[in-house]
Structure 1
Amino acid sequence: MWRFALFLAMTCSAHAEDLVGKRVPPFPDGMKQGGGTCISAGTRDPCPRVVGTLMDATGKEVAVYASILDGRGEKGKPFSIVTDMIPYPKLRKAHHLDWGSCRYDNVEDEAVIAVVRESRRTRLPAVDWAYRVDRTSGKLVKVDPARVDCYNTALEAD
């Protein structure tokens, strides 16, 4: 059984890597987009870049990807070109991946994504893992997690 699980993980990872430079959707082999956010940076287009997660057919997150808008389909659904992809981070208990509400050096930056530990604090410091989508190249660039924090949106749900 574990061999099959390893084979499945390797197969999904290999197909995910093949997405760089490709137009999506559709995604290969039952994969689908998970959560994500627009990276607008004050441009005329409200969402020229996106950072999102890629899920396998079982619903498990397998990758984080960056993309750039590449038009819309007949029903207005956006298409994008995948510009970079990295493995989804391993998350410990009470940790999650955050995007869209993070700061780098105390400056709001919607291109930053980070792993944070859940708590009741207003700002959650990044823990061990933080990246930023470079707005020019579309690459996911590792940044110092000590310089990143994210707004705790869970407080609004309470």
Structure 2
Amino acid sequence: MFAGYTSKTGACIAHELGREKFCDISISDLRSSDESWILVSKSTGITEKKAQWIVTDQIPYPDVKNGENLHLGSCRINGKFVHTLSAVVSEIDAEWLPAVRWAANVDLSTGTISTINAKGVECLNEGWGI
């Protein structure tokens, strides 16, 4: 972890890379009192029983208003599940939460992240029905 920063959420997003490379790429947040980022990281292996990562890209943390949440990884677009998608979603009582204003996609071949149009993006409400 970077000194003065905390992380509250993260996800493995590399299902598309196959079982042998599962979790080789991850997405997470990194926050300080002054700034917040969304990071894409690539695994460089395990040393001394600790996972090692290299940050491959970052973008500013999106604006999240009351009644919204940032979901990393568990999203779909136009009904197709894509583990590389993340979005700010409206917190409603539904299995799938609609994206509002902001969505992003990680390019697994380059390790970069870019914002995309949020239309048609929705994310799994992992606590729905409990």
2:118 pairs with one of 124, 133, 145: 145
Is 2:41 the counterpart of 1:64? no
User: In the alignment, what sits opposite 1:131?
Assistant: 104
Q: Is the 8 A contact 1:34 1:61 kept in 2?
A: no
Counterparts of 1:61 and 1:70, CA distance in 2: 26
Q: Using structure 2 for the length normalisation, give the TM-score.
A: 0.89
Number of equivalenced pairs: 128
By how many angstroms is 1:123 displaced?
Answer: 1.0
Is 2:45 the counterpart of 1:45? no
Greater strand proportion = 2
By how many angstroms is 1:143 displaced?
Answer: 1.6
AA in 1 matched with 2:60: P
Query: CA-atom RMSD, angstroms?
Result: 1.7
User: In the alignment, what sits opposite 1:34?
Assistant: 8
Q: Is the 8 A contact 1:53 1:61 kept in 2?
A: no
Q: Which has the larger radius of gyration?
A: 1
Counterparts of 1:155 and 1:97, CA distance in 2: 16
By how many angstroms is 1:32 displaced?
Answer: 3.1
User: In the alignment, what sits opposite 1:84?
Assistant: 57
Structure 1 residue runs of 4 or more that deviate by more than 6 Å after TM superposition: none
By how many angstroms is 1:30 displaced?
Answer: 1.9
Greater helix proportion = 1
Counterparts of 2:64 and 2:74, CA distance in 1: 19
User: In the alignment, what sits opposite 1:121?
Assistant: 94
SS at match of 1:130: strand
Percent of pairs with identical residues: 34
